[in-house]
């Protein structure tokens, strides 16, 4: 039975996915020698993910805005996360990152490149929700779109060379970029996912703005893969990790509109979804090229809304080209900040 443009059970299984996941802290293979970035890793899903990767031997960089919170998270992880199977745990490091300021994003990327020569997985996890309408980033971008998408687009662009370099020596399709989406991709987004023509003059519907940022993460993941994936060897995957806490501002036209807060499950289960997206062997470049969208626990979405699938395809492919147009808009916003110099630009 269709619901909000997708099957009813597809929606139901994202709200109530159960707790069975193919990859957990107990089944993850050793990550020794691999390097990870987790944005927003000092709390929630990012914290749980960082803890699992550290326990498995990974070298984990937490990129976040508030130093005190990151320091506290690292101390907590190091005290509580025992090593896996008797192996030595990994390494935890932090770099300051403020996604509302593209200058900070650029500096964070450059700081990472100063410290490391490889990057296996970039988790674009950090995000905001329910920010008052009219709030803008330092570069005058609507806040949800600016923080959740544009900041991460710049971070990925600056780190793409090291990701690509890592992919040359890593196993096929194992170097990845993970983008965070939401159940509101289905339930809260406008037709086509993102109204590109209004991005520079956004409206006041907070629910639509947030949902657009989540759809936008999927769009850019698909578009970057289509444009650069075969050349770089970097797989980009977007999906809903599982809404353990979500602010629902609206559903679809004709349904009740009011804010309420859902607390569904422990954030560690969202981290399990990220593990599948980042590490599962069944996730391939071909999947990313086709625009597949991941969902809770570790599985592919059985079928997104038709208008969103059309948006992923160009007009010459019978689609609407909205994903491409959105990526081009994001690219125009990050272009002044892509210089490798620390001065000038943004």
- Confidence band of 256 (pLDDT split at 50, 70, 90): very low
- Report which DSSP code applies to 180: E
Please state, as a whole number, how many other Cβ atoms lie within 10 Å of the Cβ of residue 323. 30
- pLDDT at position 341: 54
- Condensed to tens digits (0 to 9), the pLDDT of residues 230-253 reads 999 999 999 999 855 444 443 334
HSE-CB for 65 with a 13 A CA cutoff:
10
Q: Residue 13: its pLDDT value, please?
A: 85
Q: Which residues contact residue 6 at a Cβ distance below 8 angstroms, ignoring those fewer than 6 apart?
A: 186, 303, 304, 305
Exactly one of 51, 84, 214, 292 is catalytic; which is it? 214
Show the tokens assigned to 144: 């949800």
Q: Is pLDDT at 315 greater than 90 in this prediction? A: yes
Q: Using CA atoms, how far apart are residues 323 and 235, in angstroms rounded to an integer? A: 17
Of 46-50, 148-152, 185-189, the least confident? 185-189
3-state secondary structure of 172: coil
Length of the chain: 346
Tell me, yes or no, if 51 is annotated catalytic: no
Closest CA to 278 of 45, 75, 107: 45
- DSSP H/E element including 229: helix 206-232
Average pLDDT rounded to a whole number, residues 61-69: 96
- The yes-or-no verdict on residue 266 having pLDDT over 70 is yes
Mean pLDDT value across residues 67-76: 95
What's the whole-number average pLDDT of the chain? Answer: 90
- Establish whether 293 is a catalytic residue: no
The distance from CA 81 to its chain's CA centroid, rounded to whole angstroms, is 24
Catalytic residue among 54, 143, 210, 293: 210
pLDDT value, residue 181: 95
39-53, 95-109, 188-202, 257-271: least confident range: 257-271
| pLDDT computed for residue 247 by the predictor | 43
Write down all domains in the chain, each with its CATH number in brackets. Answer: 32-336 (3.40.50.720)
């Amino acid at each position: 039975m269709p619901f909000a443009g997708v099957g009813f059970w597809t929606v139901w299984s994202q709200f109530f996915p159960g707790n069975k996941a193919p990859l957990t802290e107990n089944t993850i293979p050793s990550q020794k020698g691999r390097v990870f970035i987790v944005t927003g890793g000092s709390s929630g899903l990012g914290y749980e993910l960082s803890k699992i990767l550290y326990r498995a031997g990974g070298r984990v960089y937490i990129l976040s805005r508030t130093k005190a919170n990151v320091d506290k998270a690292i101390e907590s992880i190091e005290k509580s996360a025992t090593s896996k199977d008797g192996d030595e745990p990994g390494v935890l490091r932090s770099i300051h990152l403020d996604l509302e300021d593209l200058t900070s994003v650029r500096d964070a990327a450059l700081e990472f490149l100063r410290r490391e020569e490889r990057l296996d997985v970039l988790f674009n996890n950090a995000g905001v929700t329910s920010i008052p309408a009219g709030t803008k980033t330092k570069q005058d971008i609507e806040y949800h779109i600016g923080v959740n998408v544009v900041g991460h687009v710049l971070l990925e662009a600056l780190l793409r060379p090291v990701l690509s370099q890592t992919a040359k020596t890593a196993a096929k399709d194992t170097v990845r970029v993970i983008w965070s989406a939401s159940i509101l991709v289905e339930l809260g987004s406008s037709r086509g996912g993102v109204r590109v023509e209004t991005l520079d003059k956004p409206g006041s519907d907070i629910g639509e703005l947030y949902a657009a940022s989540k759809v936008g993460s999927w769009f850019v993941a698909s578009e970057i893969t289509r444009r650069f994936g075969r050349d770089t060897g970097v797989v980009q995957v977007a999906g809903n990790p599982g809404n353990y806490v979500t602010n629902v501002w609206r559903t679809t036209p004709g349904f009740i509109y009011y804010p309420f807060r859902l607390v569904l499950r422990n954030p560690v289960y969202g981290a399990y979804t990220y593990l599948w997206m980042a590490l599962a062997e069944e996730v391939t470049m071909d999947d990313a090229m086709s625009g597949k969208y991941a969902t809770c626990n570790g599985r592919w979405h059985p079928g997104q809304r038709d208008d969103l699938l059309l948006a992923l395809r160009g007009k010459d492919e019978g689609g609407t080209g909205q994903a491409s147009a959105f990526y081009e808009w994001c690219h125009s916003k990050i272009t002044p900040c892509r210089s490798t110099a620390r001065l000038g630009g943004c």
